[in-house]
Chains A and B, each alone.
Chain A
Amino acid sequence: GNSVTQMEGPVTLSEEAFLTINCTYTATGYPSLFWYVQYPGEGLQLLLKATKADDKGSNKGFEATYRKETTSFHLEKGSVQVSDSAVYFCALSENTGNQFYFGTGTSLTVIP
């Protein structure tokens, strides 16, 4: 079946530190992969996506590369800001159906 596993949090970093949030997946076919971000009290917002192997999604300084050989889609940012404090969700969408599969979320706090 399909599933997503992401690193447990919470993660606390100092401003300007390097961020990695690990995400691995299990899928029966060739899924699309996504990172969503949820700021306090809000719904989820799409952060970036990749639809095929070796694609790199990027947005607002965040990047993730679709690695089929390691079934991974790790989120990275070179220099985090206080405003990046949020919960980050990795997700996959099977390309033959309508459902999404979400990881459990990783809470990030960036301190000045």
Chain B
Amino acid sequence: DVKVTQSSRYLVKRTGEKVFLECVQDMDHENMFWYRQDPGLGLRLIYFSYDVKMKEKGDIPEGYSVSREKKERFSLILESASTNQTSMYLCASSLLLREQYFGPGTRLTVT
């Protein structure tokens, strides 16, 4: 079975802090994705990566950056957390042109 793990299930940070969310997959997938999920808005794509050191902006990249130094790991970085970034963050991975597999999510609260 594909396993996608995220570093934290719950996280509380203060406004202005730098926040790192880590995602690791164990199936040698080329593609990795970061989404945020908010009530009534569904899933919105923040960034995705189709190879090591490659990244593409999604629909809502503002205020976020990403890093993919190794194939199995994709990090989401909030350079200066703000309260409007309080959300559920979901990581996913996939083979090229195949279904996505999701991690359990990180519920981030910024106070």
In chain A, what residue has the closest Cβ to B35? A102
- Besides A36-B102, A99-B45, 9 more A-B contacts (Cβ < 8 Å) are A41-B105, A43-B103, A43-B104, A44-B90, A89-B42, A98-B96, A98-B97, A100-B45, A100-B100
Residue from B31, B56, B99, B105 within 8 A of A43 (CB atoms): B105
A contact residues around B40 at 8 Å (CB)? 104
Contact A102 B43 (CB under 8 A): yes
10 chain-A/chain-B pairs, Cβ below 8 angstroms:
A34-B99, A42-B105, A43-B103, A44-B90, A46-B101, A98-B50, A98-B56, A99-B45, A100-B33, A102-B42
A49 located at the interface, meaning its Cβ lies under 8 Å from any Cβ of chain B in the complex: yes
Asked whether A49 and B99 contact (CB < 8 A) given A43-B104, A102-B43, the answer is: yes
Does B12 make an interface contact (CB < 8 A)?
no
| Chain B residues with a Cβ under 8 A of chain A | 4, 31, 33, 40-43, 45, 48, 50, 56, 90, 92, 94, 96-105
Total interface residues on A, CB under 8 Å, equals 20
Could you list which residues of chain A lie within 8 angstroms of chain B, going by C-beta atoms? 32, 34, 36, 41-46, 49, 89, 93, 95, 98-100, 102-105
B42, B48, B105: the one contacting A98 at CB < 8 Å is B48
